[in-house]
Amino acid sequence: MKLQNKVAVITGGGTGIGRATALLFAEQGARVVVTGIEAAPLHEVVIEIKQLGGEALAIEQDVTLESTWDSVIAEVIGAYGQLDILINNAGIALFANTEDESLENWEKTQSVNLNSVFLGTRAAIKAMKESGGSIVNVSSIEGLVGHPMASAYNASKGGVRIYSKSAALHCAQQGYNIRINTLHPGFISTPMTTTNVVESFGEEGADAFLADVISKIPMGRMAEAREMATGLLFLASDDSTYMTGAELVMDGGFTAQ
């Protein structure tokens, strides 16, 4: 039980990586709080965790709103008395090249993917600075390398990467015993990936896009969400006590080329 007696908040916890992480953390002894825009998938995760004998709580949250972070932290502390882990996982992916990208979609992407990470990290530091903890911000390989059709997404995930280093250094210098790291997933078989690609390229274009992606992954396949959850478990747990301001890349070899 790597997370026994720990309390973990996972944003975007109803689907994809968030859901897989919530289930894994609960298996490892954590009391899990999942947040997100849509209530139904959050409650489904909570029911599944409780059926397995774990403890969990669902909180509806728009991670882009500053006010929601104060209320979420207050509810978590009220329910469990502590906060040990924050996984800033909520995100969106809208595809467009820099010439065709709209300001509206650019700002929406930065708000969900980057601003929410700042808001969540800041709120968690305030809650954790007396007792310590681990914050993991989910970036992407698109925060390490560019893609011509991901201008806004590249900017947001690159921002998550370098912002997390700044926050990690601040916590270390203040002696807070709060570690802040980033996870950089490669291409994952999740609803967000499939849905967003289809919306951006159409059915036929999506098939071609995904086939091209897989052809460039040395391991020859996309990842499963559970595989990313294991990386988050490592960064959240005491297995990574000497890591802060660091990056964990899990991409099937994509960025090794």
Residues assigned a catalytic role: 153
- Closest alpha carbon to 149 in 90, 189, 208, 191: 208
Strand 56-60 to strand 31-36: parallel, antiparallel, or no bridges (unpaired)? parallel
Contact partners, residue 210, CB within 8 Å, separation at least 6 = 197
- Closest alpha carbon to 244 in 158, 134, 154, 157: 134
- Sheet containing 247-250: order of strands: 56-60, 31-36, 7-11, 85-88, 133-138, 178-185, 247-250
Helix (H) or strand (E) holding 119: helix 116-128
Map tokens 């006590």 to a residue: 241
3-state secondary structure 65-77: CHHHHHHHHHHHH
What is each CA distance from 216 to 141, 175, 192, 203, 219, in whole angstroms? Answer: 13, 42, 20, 20, 9
Count of C-beta atoms within a 10 Å radius of residue 41: 20
**179: β partners:** 134
Round to whole Å and give the CA distance between 176 and 228.
27
